[in-house]
Structure 1
Amino acid sequence: MDSRRWLYLGSATTFAILQLFLVVVLSQETQKYNFGPFNDSMINRELYVIPMAWLNFGALQLSPDSVVDGTLRNKSGRVFINKPFKLWDDTRIASFNTSFLMNIYPVVNNTPGEGIAFIIGPSLSIPPLSYGQYLGLTNQLTDGNSSNQIVAVEFDTVKQDFDPDDNHVGLDINGVVSKVTVPLSKFGFKLAASNPRFYMVWVEYDGVKKEMEVYMAESQYHYHGPIVAEKPSKAVLSSHLDLKGLVNDMSYFGFSASTGNYFELNAIVRWNLSVEVLPNNNMSSARNDNYWWKTGVGVVVGAPLLALLITGVMPFLRRKIRESGSDPKLLSTLRRLPGTPSEFRFRELKIATNNFHDSNKLGQGGFGIVYRGTLPKEKLQMAVKKFSRDSIKGISDFLAELTIINRLRHKNLVRLLGWCHNKGTLLLVYEYMPNGSLDNHIFFEKGTTKTPLSWSLRYKILLDVAFALNYLHNEYDQKVVHRDLKASNIMLDSDFNARLGDFGLARTLDNEKTSYAEGVPAGTRGYIAPECLYTGKATCESDVYGFGAVLLEVVCGQRPWAKIGGHHFLVGWVWQLHGEGKILEAVDLRLGNDFVAEEAERILTLGLACSHPMAPVRPKMQTIIQIISGSVPVPQVPPFKPPFVWPAVDQGPTAATLECSPINTTFFAR
């Protein structure tokens, strides 16, 4: 924990205690709400969520962060506090203050669309169909109607004919043609930057002066909230605004957002709201006297209390700063990662895992140990991956995994919840998968209570993994090669839906590149494509080879490196049975006759096609999905396993000079 964070926590703690005292004294004058991290338990109880908005990754995802109905385009959503606030009466208008931490990130080619709005609305009713330029507020038919009774502060990322640019803040009244607009570039702000940024926003309304002011500051984000985000002295937008008559006297506070032809992630990570409570007319004088009496007490008692707190806290802060061993550059890198990963405290992860006790160990690999954990307060189950290497290489692996997976969004990928770095200890926190890994359901000791997976579940799981791999190769904005596809990295949720996990070896491919080179082949024996051993390069084709090994082991119930039928590897034995016309003899004997012969033959033959020694011959992931689904036939597979030839094609004079490390020739034996 770096010095800035200790200073932030100390000042925040001091201020929070003083604020708590003042809230107790003045509690009858304002209504206060504090949200974040967000979780599903808030739905209906505190928040009213209108699709396509939802709560995910500890944030309000105001527009979808995963594909809905085949697309992320032309979607919108709203989220409100589920109770109305009295904003005006015959005598006065209520003042209110709100602050929120927002994150906007364009996920395709850095082209944004469309924006976020803080909204005051008349009801919780589902809004008319709204998307694109209308920000989830109105549509072509309703825009500008006074009956909307909507006031909003928009943060717009697409330029329309009526907008000054594609990066501005505006004050909207009943429509998206803003009363006031201010370009944000002159303040150095870029809402939808290619390097995602967090912005702290303050919206302050003075009901006496009838003034609305909006302040902004770039912020960093961690588990406790924003840091380095003090409210600036100058507002980015200021406007006269008489809410009386513009909005319903009983109105709701919330947010809306939309996507259009292009789409972005629109997230609210933290949200605080304070609304003045309007007194009853017949009690206004007494309430006013009471207010000033309580304020006086607050100042008289609060000032010495604040001084006492500062005196006690500062020595503690200085000691913690001296003891801090975390790399501030690394922490800064982690806190600026794309998306919205939460920073967890090491202490709470230590408690959640019972001090990383062996009884909570879920698995162990080359990168570290995974523990089961539970946060008692949130009743949140998690899988905590503790990296075992504290070297530079360990940090590199940690950053590589976190950088990739925290931006991925797919129902068949294990979801990242957050991270922790504490004095050289690196941890990643994932969604907990109750049914563990696929490996544990295919291979287990005899005499246990486990039963072999049914054929229908095996088939469904393989299709799930194919969808996940196709997303990495073809649907994400960068190609991602997983490099470690195997049964132990395929996790199963409570309904046995497959989630591909462990992205410790995964790498993105730069534009127009087709491979990732590290010099040493990464992965697990039996899953590594033969060309990787010569080139040290990982490709989409080498991932397909690993998927072929998974297909065969799931159907056969045998490890890829199993010595069977005189062969050193499972693939050689299955290929022999294929050539003899007896491929169904490879099906797991534990299934008996409880499998669909046509489907089993299809998967086994596809497994051989994916395991072809020559990378260019292997099918692509789009085709693989169609084959598993039964919509296209399996490609022709030769009756005998073809030899591995390197180079695969004539590469000219350089091919003859390629240096290859010694390899055990039995690796490729049939």
Structure 2
Amino acid sequence: MVTPGNFVAAILVFVVLLFPAASSAKTPKSFTFANFHPTQFGSVFDVKGDASISKEALQLTPDTLNNAYNLLNKSGRIMFPVRFKLWEESSYSPTSSNISLNNSSTELDIVASFNSTFLINIYRTSNESGGEGFAFIIAPDLEIPSASFGQWLGLTNATLDGNPSNKIVAIELDTLKQDYDPDDNHMGLDIYSVKSKKTVSLSKFGIEISPVKATNYSVWIQYNGTAKLMEVYMADGNSDKPSSPVLSEKINLKDYVKQYSYMGFSASTGVRAQLNCVLKWELTVEDLPEEKDLKWVMIVVGVVAVALALSGIVVAGFVYYNKRRVVNDPNILGALKSLPGMPKEFRFRELKKATNNFDEKLKLGQGGFGVVYKGLLPQNIHVAVKKFSRDNLKGIDDFLAELTIINRLRHKHLVPLVGWCHKKSLLLLVYDYMPNGSLDSHLFGGSEKTLNWECRYKIIAGVASALHYLHDEFDQRVLHRDLKASNIMLDSNFSARLGDFGLARALDNEKTSYAELEGVPGTMGYVAPECFHMGKATTESDVFGFGAVVLEVVCGKHPCTKIGGFQFLVDWVWTLYREGRILEAVDVSLGEDYDAQQAERLLLLGLACMHPIAGERPKTPNIVQIISGSVPPSVVPHFKPAFVWPATSFSVGSSMLNTAATTPMTSSYYGSEKSEWTPRCESRESYVMKVQ
């Protein structure tokens, strides 16, 4: 049967087949690998030489400390087998005699921008010096040259090195000094050769590529195709991207790489060995359109105009009919698969087997939208499977809302999405499993080991970084709408991972709020007071929830804890602040083992974020600066202001106040220090994916 969806899809397919460029734009292709598995060998990655995929990492050279296994004179490459178009055709072509970094044919060349961010561990064995090196590579094919071990880094060999025909550009991390190297700890920009066109010693940045103590490093390689500028940043794996690059150089990639090239990694060992591991990788490449043919443009314009007119008529005729059929429409699969950067689609039987038929013993958490189970995939891969409980139209809306937001989010403090599944009316999402569970379970779950101060401070900083990304750094402003300790997961390093986007909504950047038509979103104790009056979530209400989490982590108490005659933790802390005793709010289980200056800074930040007047709360950029110590703590009034509605200083605009009462009123919820109203606080759960 013909439906509007089928009709429009057929038109779009016809247009794409007839003239691919007509439906192509310079939009990025993004790929994220939060970890790696042996099953990706050959299916996701092309693995050559002595490389392998094991221990949840890309192993560019053999990864073993077994002395019986030879680690010397090895080389390997692991490439992502997607061919990227990196530049447009022009009449300029460099020769071997005119190669230089600044010989760009023209600043008007169309060259693709890209970002490659990865986490590496390069470890020397037996406390010996490391050798030889590691590289991120742009190559014309997926092959590895023979005899590319030793000084050749898996990039070239004695025959190919320096030959422009090899069309290789790489960023190397070299750990063994050759005659042409500045030292044995440097970064280099390689063009056709391992003799770098530019090198930078990393010692002056406090970075040792292959230290005695195994260390993870994050590397950010950013290429601006408009400015023809290559910038590389490097820092400890637990740090954010530095403000200044380690290496920066003008280079027109069009002059040095093939129009269609591949990206990946290479490494080698020689008379000395090291382990060369990639633990995570995010790659985004600008998608350049294919070549155009003008006569087809005119044809396509005509076809599209007619097709759109017809499709408009058909859609209008079927709109009501389709509203009733959308729940069971198999075309939902097409919609899901068309999402950019879409993660893996799992078969239902895979997830059923992984969770032992959704065994209650494997349940990690439960909320209004679904249940989360621990799962075990082949190759001993642990995951968390969120099974939506609603099989109606609202359930699909919830599922798509979460999926369309999460699949494009890329941040180290967000829970990574692994994949999804849709079977008839059954909807499932698959996430990375966080081995240390939720923050809530560690604070209140009877854990034998108390989270120390350093860990707590790091967790708060991570959540702040994630919230700043959602509000100000992503291409759309995303409201989480349910910030709380049970929605903050802890990975193997006890780093914070914010999750559970079942209530999240993306906003157009010019908008400031999202209206929740079915009532107030979120969890009691974390919900901003204005939300009860306007039924809207805003960035300010997210900040309020973050403030509640800050106090919860520092004090070791729930936001709606009855203490000192108060109904809410924030009122008690505010009173201690007024009386000059704010440090008495710090979790007693820490004893004296905490930084008093940091504790005061966080407590004041928590109070500032929970200010009853939304417009007085700090924004996320300021929050991140306060936590880092780069700006002073927030200025907080000693007496907690009363909540007044409507609040003239509220930043969402007067149009939102029309639904409120025309005369100001105070609220009993957070409005006074000793409210007689007792809220029903939510019970704790052990996993981030729980949605209210």
Same fold (TM over 0.5): yes
Q: Secondary structure at the match of 1:417?
A: strand
Q: Is the 8 A contact 2:488 2:497 kept in 1?
A: yes
Amino acid at match of 2:668: T
Q: Which segment is superposed worse, 337-346 or 540-549?
A: 337-346
Q: Secondary structure at the match of 1:35?
A: coil
Q: Is the 8 A contact 2:229 2:251 kept in 1?
A: no
Q: Tell me how far apart the structure 2 counterparts of residues 486 and 545 of structure 1 sit (CA, whole Å).
A: 10
Q: Tell me how far apart the structure 1 counterparts of residues 577 and 229 of structure 2 sit (CA, whole Å).
A: 57
Q: 1:508 to 1:54 in 2, by over 3 A?
A: farther
Q: Tell me how far apart the structure 2 counterparts of residues 185 and 375 of structure 1 sit (CA, whole Å).
A: 51
Deviation at 1:640, TM superposition (A): 1.5
Q: Which of 115, 122, 131 matches 1:64?
A: 115
Q: Is the 8 A contact 1:481 1:509 kept in 2?
A: yes
Q: 1:182 to 1:525 in 2, by over 3 A?
A: same
Counterpart in 2 of 1:497?
A: 495
Q: Is the 8 A contact 1:373 1:381 kept in 2?
A: yes
Question: Deviations along 1:323-353, whole A, 9 cap, x unmatched?
Answer: xx95312112111112232111110011111
Counterpart in 2 of 1:400?
A: 401
Question: Deviations along 1:346-371, whole A, 9 cap, x unmatched?
Answer: 10011111111122211222221111
Q: Tell me how far apart the structure 2 counterparts of residues 37 and 49 of structure 1 sit (CA, whole Å).
A: 6
CA RMSD of aligned residues (A): 4.0
Counterpart in 2 of 1:347?
A: 349
Deviation at 1:48, TM superposition (A): 1.8
User: How do 1:132-147 and structure 2 match up within 5 A?
Assistant: 132-133=224-225
Counterpart in 1 of 2:274?
A: none
Q: Tell me how far apart the structure 2 counterparts of residues 358 and 653 of structure 1 sit (CA, whole Å).
A: 48
Q: Secondary structure at the match of 2:545?
A: helix
Q: Which of 507, 510, 519 matches 1:509?
A: 507
Q: Tell me how far apart the structure 1 counterparts of residues 505 and 113 of structure 2 sit (CA, whole Å).
A: 29
Q: Is the 8 A contact 1:168 1:183 kept in 2?
A: no
Q: Is the 8 A contact 1:369 1:385 kept in 2?
A: yes
Q: Is the 8 A contact 1:341 1:416 kept in 2?
A: yes
Counterpart in 2 of 1:386?
A: 387
Counterpart in 2 of 1:576?
A: 575
Q: Tell me how far apart the structure 2 counterparts of residues 653 and 153 of structure 1 sit (CA, whole Å).
A: 52
User: How do 1:3-42 and structure 2 match up within 5 A?
Assistant: 34-36=42-44
Q: Tell me how far apart the structure 2 counterparts of residues 154 and 536 of structure 1 sit (CA, whole Å).
A: 51
Question: Deviations along 1:228-275, whole A, 9 cap, x unmatched?
Answer: xxxxxxxxxxxxxxxxxxxxxxxxxxxxxxxxxxxxxxxxxxxxxxxx
Q: Secondary structure at the match of 2:644?
A: coil
Q: What is the TM-score normalised by the length of structure 1?
A: 0.57
Question: Deviations along 1:463-512, whole A, 9 cap, x unmatched?
Answer: 01100000111111111110000001111110011111001111111131
Question: Deviations along 1:553-588, whole A, 9 cap, x unmatched?
Answer: 001110001111111111111111111111111111
Counterpart in 1 of 2:429?
A: 428
Q: 1:583 to 1:124 in 2, by over 3 A?
A: closer
Counterpart in 1 of 2:271?
A: none
Deviation at 1:612, TM superposition (A): 0.2
Q: Secondary structure at the match of 1:464?
A: helix
Amino acid at match of 1:535: M
Question: Deviations along 1:125-184, whole A, 9 cap, x unmatched?
Answer: 764279455899x9858966xxx7x755479xxxxxxxxxx9544xxxxxxxxxxx5559
Q: Secondary structure at the match of 2:530?
A: helix
Q: Secondary structure at the match of 1:600?
A: helix
Q: Is the 8 A contact 1:44 1:82 kept in 2?
A: no
Q: Which runs of 5+ in 1 are unaligned?
A: 1-32, 56-60, 69-74, 86-118, 156-165, 170-180, 191-324
Question: Deviations along 1:374-408, whole A, 9 cap, x unmatched?
Answer: 212x4322111111111211111111011001101
Q: Secondary structure at the match of 1:571?
A: helix
Counterpart in 2 of 1:598?
A: 597
Q: Secondary structure at the match of 1:366?
A: coil
Task: State whether structure 2 residue 668 is matched by structure 1 residue 665.
Answer: yes
Amino acid at match of 1:381: H
Q: Higher Cα Rg: structure 1 or 2?
A: 1
Amino acid at match of 2:138: R
Question: Deviations along 1:513-539, whole A, 9 cap, x unmatched?
Answer: 011111321000000001111111111
Q: Which of 471, 474, 477 matches 2:475?
A: 477
Deviation at 1:658, TM superposition (A): 2.6
Amino acid at match of 2:386: K
Q: Tell me how far apart the structure 2 counterparts of residues 623 and 560 of structure 1 sit (CA, whole Å).
A: 23
Q: Tell me how far apart the structure 1 counterparts of residues 60 and 568 of structure 2 sit (CA, whole Å).
A: 55
Q: 1:121 to 1:653 in 2, by over 3 A?
A: closer
Deviation at 1:666, TM superposition (A): 4.9
Q: Is the 8 A contact 2:138 2:261 kept in 1?
A: no
Counterpart in 1 of 2:635?
A: 636
Counterpart in 2 of 1:109?
A: none
Q: Secondary structure at the match of 2:427?
A: strand
Counterpart in 1 of 2:411?
A: 410
Q: Tell me how far apart the structure 2 counterparts of residues 583 and 521 of structure 1 sit (CA, whole Å).
A: 31
Q: 1:49 to 1:581 in 2, by over 3 A?
A: same
Q: 1:140 to 1:538 in 2, by over 3 A?
A: closer
Q: Secondary structure at the match of 1:496?
A: coil
Aligned sequence identity (%): 53
Deviation at 1:411, TM superposition (A): 0.6
Q: Is the 8 A contact 1:76 1:135 kept in 2?
A: no
Counterpart in 2 of 1:78?
A: 138
Q: Is the 8 A contact 2:58 2:78 kept in 1?
A: no
Q: Secondary structure at the match of 1:638?
A: coil
Q: 1:619 to 1:430 in 2, by over 3 A?
A: same
Q: 1:621 to 1:642 in 2, by over 3 A?
A: same
Deviation at 1:63, TM superposition (A): 4.4
Q: Which of 357, 374, 385 matches 2:359?
A: 357
Q: 1:124 to 1:481 in 2, by over 3 A?
A: closer
Q: Is the 8 A contact 1:521 1:533 kept in 2?
A: yes
User: How do 1:325-336 and structure 2 match up within 5 A?
Assistant: 327-336=329-338
Q: Tell me how far apart the structure 1 counterparts of residues 574 and 613 of structure 2 sit (CA, whole Å).
A: 15
Q: Secondary structure at the match of 1:465?
A: helix
Q: Which runs of 5+ in 2 are unaligned?
A: 1-40, 47-52, 62-74, 83-111, 120-134, 147-163, 173-189, 192-196, 198-221, 231-248, 263-286, 301-326, 674-692
Q: Is the 8 A contact 1:473 1:540 kept in 2?
A: yes
Q: Secondary structure at the match of 2:434?
A: coil
Task: State whether structure 2 residue 340 is matched by structure 1 residue 338.
Answer: yes
Question: Deviations along 1:580-624, whole A, 9 cap, x unmatched?
Answer: 111111111111111111111111111000000000000111111
Counterpart in 2 of 1:622?
A: 621
Q: Tell me how far apart the structure 1 counterparts of residues 382 and 624 of structure 2 sit (CA, whole Å).
A: 32
Q: Tell me how far apart the structure 2 counterparts of residues 401 and 655 of structure 1 sit (CA, whole Å).
A: 29
Amino acid at match of 1:487: A
Question: Deviations along 1:79-137, whole A, 9 cap, x unmatched?
Answer: 7645459xxxxxxxxxxxxxxxxxxxxxxxxxxxxxxxxx995779764279455899x
Q: Tell me how far apart the structure 2 counterparts of residues 387 and 598 of structure 1 sit (CA, whole Å).
A: 44
Q: Secondary structure at the match of 1:442?
A: helix
Amino acid at match of 1:458: R
Q: 1:143 to 1:508 in 2, by over 3 A?
A: closer
Q: Is the 8 A contact 1:326 1:422 kept in 2?
A: no
Counterpart in 1 of 2:303?
A: none
Counterpart in 1 of 2:679?
A: none
Q: What is the TM-score normalised by the length of structure 2?
A: 0.56
Q: How many residues align?
A: 428
Q: Secondary structure at the match of 1:628?
A: helix
Counterpart in 2 of 1:311?
A: none
Q: Is the 8 A contact 1:62 1:78 kept in 2?
A: no
Q: Which segment is superposed worse, 613-622 or 353-362?
A: 353-362
Amino acid at match of 1:36: V
Q: Which of 44, 48, 58 matches 2:60?
A: 44
Amino acid at match of 1:340: M
Q: Is the 8 A contact 1:62 1:77 kept in 2?
A: no
Q: Secondary structure at the match of 2:336?
A: helix
User: How do 1:142-541 and structure 2 match up within 5 A?
Assistant: 152-153=259-260, 167-169=288-290, 186=296, 327-376=329-378, 378-445=379-446, 450-519=448-517, 520-541=519-540
Counterpart in 2 of 1:322?
A: none
